[in-house]
Amino acid sequence: MSQHVLSPTRPPRARTVTAAALTATLAFTAAPPAALAAPHAGSPAQTRHAQIRQLARDLVNAGAPGVIVRVDDGTGRPVEIAEQAPWARRDHVLKAGDEFRVASSTKTVTATLVLQLAAEGRLALTDPVDRWLPGKVPDGKAITLRMLLNHTSGLADYTEDAAVLPSILGKDRRRWTSAQLLAAGVKHPPLFAPGTKWSYSNTNYAALGAVLERATGASLAGLVRDRIARPLGLRHTYLATDSTWRGPHARGYEPDAAHMPPAVPAAWRHLAGPRRHGHVNVTGNNPAWGGAAGALVSTAQDWSRFTTALMSGKLLPAAQLAQMRTTVPVDPRHPGGPGYGLGVQTAAHPCGTFWGHDGGMPGYLTTGITDRTGTRSATVLISAELWAEFEADPKIAKAAQALQTAVTCTMFGKPVPAALRR
């Protein structure tokens, strides 16, 4: 999420990625060098496991309904943790292997599909959008597929369109298509001339979803299945086209209207779903409004396998992987700061430079990161999201920052910062 305060009319996006999302949502608190001093002599890996578990419990105690953590430092058995609030156990006992909505991390998969087709010569990143979607995108002759992939097109975000809001809240269960989502986005004036700035927009990936379907004649869900999930053996990874889940899954929640933090705008305080313990269970709401930008379902283990395959070159040839890692700064004032590539983001952290993506839609806030080679990986799910979207709950935010910092350092084989240890 961006560091600025959101306007009351600004809707959740299938996770908005900005400099703050990289430095706050992914890296979170940048611990000073003194806090990263070596642990006590003889401290085993299980000590870090216990520290992460305690930080996950702290996050639940701060108000998160549930937390899943998986960390693989590439040297041994991964850390896998699930913690949840006692009241949430009445709906489902959370497990580390449960499916969840990855939201905007879907963009990494969509970008991978586009780059696979580019490697096969079926499209080119320099293709103008008009070649594939003639007349569907304003200034479509000047916007290239690369600009869609790295968010430099200038297209407005479809999640800010009033027609999409009921779907985000779970009140409209329609099955949005890529073409419909694209149309919702391009109803609004472009933000800037193509290629001149960077601005995160889900409309870019709605357009890419439509391009993929046009170029292949296959559905986006079918492409995810046939080109990503089946080849990698990802049994719990699929693009959702309705509210159906295929396996055991994490329940997602948001506070009900009476318990919603004051910072959440009035338009976003009433979500559809069953009520329990001051919360709304949004698990059964249809995520199809996320489309190619955010409708993917996965598990922590599946996502680790995907990112490992991607970053190690198993899904893309070297030339296309290099294109994916070619970034633009998300903040022009800091050209050496966080960057966005083609469906991936990167930033430096005191414990190491990571690659990955974050995602969020009501009930699900996810972060998935890896190192440049895919040897190390980490995934965090928090089963509530509006607190982050609207910067509405400092208590949860502080606990989430502590957990993500510990997770990032553990992934890189570094000690949990001293300030976070108990």
The confidence score (pLDDT) of residue 44 equals 53
| Rounded distance between C-alpha atoms, residue 139 and residue 360, angstroms | 30
Q: Which amino acid is at 195?
A: G
What Å distances lie between residue 326 and 140, 355, 356, CA to CA?
23, 12, 13
* First CA to last CA distance, the chain: 29
Give residue for tokens 């299980």.
Answer: 46
The confidence score (pLDDT) of residue 417 equals 84
Q: Which of 344, 335, 366, 352 is nearest to 408 (CA)?
A: 352
CA dihedral 243, 245, 246, 247 (to 10 degrees): 180
DSSP letters spanning 91-111: T----TT-BEE-GGGHHHHHH
Parse the chain into domains and list their residue ranges.
Answer: 19-420
Angle CA(139)–CA(186)–CA(104) in degrees, nearest 5?
Answer: 110
| Rounded distance between C-alpha atoms, residue 330 and residue 193, angstroms | 16
- Range list of H helices, 9-98: 19-20, 45-61
The confidence score (pLDDT) of residue 2 equals 31
| Rounded distance between C-alpha atoms, residue 262 and residue 281, angstroms | 20
User: Counting every residue, how long is the chain?
Assistant: 422
The confidence score (pLDDT) of residue 39 equals 40
Which fold is adopted by the domain 19-420? Beta-lactamase (3.40.710)
Burial letters for 400-409: b for 16+ Cβ neighbours within 10 Å, e otherwise? bbbbbbbbbb
List residues bridging with 128 in a β-sheet.
Answer: 144
Task: Count Cα atoms within 13 angstroms, Cβ side, for 176.
Answer: 33
* Local confidence pLDDT in tens for the 422 residues of the chain: 232 222 223 334 444 433 333 444 444 334 433 343 344 444 457 788 899 999 999 999 999 999 999 999 999 889 999 999 999 999 999 999 999 999 999 999 999 999 999 999 999 999 999 999 999 999 999 999 999 999 999 999 999 999 999 999 999 999 999 999 999 999 999 999 999 999 999 999 999 999 999 999 999 999 999 999 999 999 999 999 999 999 999 999 999 999 999 999 999 999 999 999 999 999 999 999 999 999 999 999 999 999 999 999 999 999 999 999 999 999 989 888 999 999 999 999 999 999 999 999 999 999 999 999 999 999 999 999 999 999 999 999 999 999 999 999 999 999 888 787 76
- Is the pTM for the entire model greater than 0.85? yes
304: tokens are 């680790």
Starting at the edge strand found earlier in the chain, the sheet holding 339-340 runs 79-84, 66-72, 377-382, 364-370, 352-361, 345-349, 339-340, 328-329
| Rounded distance between C-alpha atoms, residue 289 and residue 167, angstroms | 6
151: tokens are 């968010």
